[in-house]
Amino acid sequence: MNIVMKEGYEDLIFMANQIGDFFKNYPTTEEAVEGIANHLRKFWSPSMRQRIIGYVEKTEGGDLAPLVRLAVEKLKSSS
């Protein structure tokens, strides 16, 4: 990951991965991804959601946990 691409996203990446850590033990991948996506919809501002979507679009989300990347893709497809 290019440091320049990551710059400005560190806090969002950290928070999103913390959310992912909570949901990673859900019974199925689908439930975990849906839980993460729902949390981001409910508790993140629209601008935060757009920034994390933009991060994934620019970098493929390499610093995000796999479940979080899937959840952000889900957000992207529903926005």
- pLDDT string in tens for the chain (79-residue length): 444 455 689 999 999 999 999 999 999 999 999 999 999 999 999 999 999 999 999 998 999 999 999 999 999 998 6
| Nearest-angstrom CA–CA distance, 24 and 78 | 22
